[in-house]
Each structure stands twice: as structure tokens, then as C-alpha cells.
Amino acid sequence: GRISRNNDNEAMFTLEGKTPLNPKGDEEVITYTVEAGKIDPQSESHPSTIIASLCYPYETKLAASVCIDPDPNNVRPIRKSCTVQDLSYSSGQGAPVAITKVEIQVLPTASEAVKPQFLISIENKGKGEVMKFSAADAACRRTGGALTYREFNAVEMHATLSGQDLECSLRNEAVADESNPKPDAQEFARLSSGKGVVRCSYPDDAPAIGKAAESYTAPFTITLSYGYTQSLTTDYAIKKR
């Protein structure tokens, strides 16, 4: 990818993530020329450490087919075109934050309709820290001061069934003040010990799925949006010539 430098110790670049056609993703080598400070005249060498921090916004995307069975208790003696099965992804999707499992339920309602519901498990599979999508740039550049704990372990989620947006049990963390008494919703899934579970349901005002309908296969998508940061350290010795 193209590399741009804003100062002596910072570089910005773009890399393609892992894809079926490029399972390893892109790779880039960035070099720095550094000048060592003076060491004590009586010392032959001085130990030091280099820290490299990487911060970037990212999205995890899942596209799958799920079975929707309006008769989960098999009340009607008919042959079904599909069987409801949970989705499991132990190795994730190639992204640092993975969708590891989707549990599928079809719940009855008071009307002649059913309500599909999904329990979505997500997990930080990488070696870094998860943060809000909007905080990724500030995490490395230290712009706007240090990040607070509220910026970390927060993931945006969007899920659809047959193109219909689902209602997910996210936490609205928008803060109202005098200048903006009614801010737009800022909803996040929160991770605890690197894991989280979100419930997404078919909305009541969406086209009804009748109890008498036959089972069918429907497209199902999930998109996670977040920032990610990871640091690596290397010890080395500065020696006199």
C-alpha cells in the first residue's frame, strides 16, 4: 500500500485485509533511521527498547444463509425444506474481532406470526485491544488527549435478515449536553474479558412471517465496526564504537 509520513516516528498506509483470494492479506515493510543518544562514558553499552504501535479502523463481515422455520415444534406433519441449525465459526472470519457463534430461535407471538431471534457471540481473537471505530486514529497519534475506558471494548453491530434490519440489544452511549440535548444514538456492543453476546430480533413492524408459512432459507448478514490497536516491543543494546 501507499505510505505517507507525517513526522519522523509516524507513518500512515493502507493494506488489503484477508480475503478468499488473498488469505494472508497484504504486507508492508516500513523502515526508520534513528539516532541513538549519548551513553555514559563509562558504559560500553546501554539497553533500550523500541515500541511500535499499530492503530486502524476495521470491519468484520459475515454473510450466511439461515433456515427460518415458523413451525419449530413440528406441529404440522409436513416435509420441511430446511432445518434450523446454529452457526459456528471457531476460527472467525480472518478479522481480529470474530463472530464465533449465532444461535437461532423462532419465537411465537400473540398474532399469527413468528419472530426470528439471533444470539450473536463475538470475541477478540487478536493480540491487541478493541476500541470504538472513531477512536482508532487518536489511539496512536494521541490527538485529543488520552482515551478513556469508555472508548475501549466497544463494537458497533448491524445485522439483517432477508435485507431487513434487525433490532439488536446494543447500549446507547450518546451523551446529551446543553449544545446537543437530543444527540443521535451511539449504540455499541460491550466486550467483557474479550467476549460479548448480542441479541438481535426481527422487528415487529417488519413484514410478518406467518405461523402457517413453510420453512425457508434466508440470507443473513452481520457487520461489526470497531477500531483496533496492537503494540510490539523489541529490546536492543546501544554499543560504543
pLDDT band (50, 70, 90) for residue 196: very high
What Cα–Cα distance (Å) separates residue 22 from each residue in 12, 18, 90, 94, 154? 22, 6, 20, 11, 28
Is 70 exceeded by the pLDDT of residue 185? no
Mean pLDDT of 108-128: 94
Is 80 exceeded by the pLDDT of residue 182? no
Is 60 exceeded by the pLDDT of residue 43? yes
Rg (CA), the chain: 24
Range of the domain at 150: 56-229
Q: How many domains does the chain have?
A: 1
CB 155 within 8 A of CB 57: no
Residue 94 CB contacts under 8 Å (≥ 6 apart), including other chains: 17, 18, 19, 23, 25
Distance, in Å, from the CA atom of 139 to the CA atom of 173, rounded to the nearest integer, reads 19
Mean pLDDT of 149-153: 91
Residue 68: inside a domain: yes
Residue 34: inside a domain: no
pLDDT band (50, 70, 90) for residue 91: confident
Quick one: which of 184, 228, 241 has its CA closest to 56? 228
Mean pLDDT of 169-184: 70
Residue 187, C-alpha cell as written in the block: 449504540
Three-state secondary structure call for residue 14 = coil
β 113-124/216-239 pair status: unpaired
CB 202 within 8 A of CB 115: yes
Is 90 exceeded by the pLDDT of residue 148? no
Mean pLDDT of 73-88: 89
Mean pLDDT of 100-104: 98
Percent of the chain predicted with pLDDT > 90: 52
Residue 70 CB contacts under 8 Å (≥ 6 apart), including other chains: 106, 114, 209, 210, 211, 212, 213, 214, 215
Distance, in Å, from the CA atom of 219 to the CA atom of 198, rounded to the nearest integer, reads 19
Distance, in Å, from the CA atom of 240 to the CA atom of 236, rounded to the nearest integer, reads 13
pLDDT band (50, 70, 90) for residue 219: very high
Residue 234: inside a domain: no
Q: What is the pLDDT of residue 153?
A: 95
Element of type H or E holding 36: none
CB 3 within 8 A of CB 28: yes
- Between 72 and 224, the more confident residue is 224
Residue 75: inside a domain: yes
Q: What is the pLDDT of residue 218?
A: 97
Residue 154: inside a domain: yes
Residue 65: inside a domain: yes
Percent of the chain predicted with pLDDT > 70: 92
The pLDDT tens digits for 22-32 are 888 888 888 88
Residue 175: inside a domain: yes
Residue 170: inside a domain: yes
- Between 46 and 234, the more confident residue is 234
- Between 183 and 158, the more confident residue is 158
Mean pLDDT of 227-238: 90
Q: What is the pLDDT of residue 143?
A: 61
CB 117 within 8 A of CB 159: no
Quick one: which of 144, 126, 145 has its CA closest to 227? 126
Maximum average pLDDT range among 27-36, 167-176, 226-235: 226-235
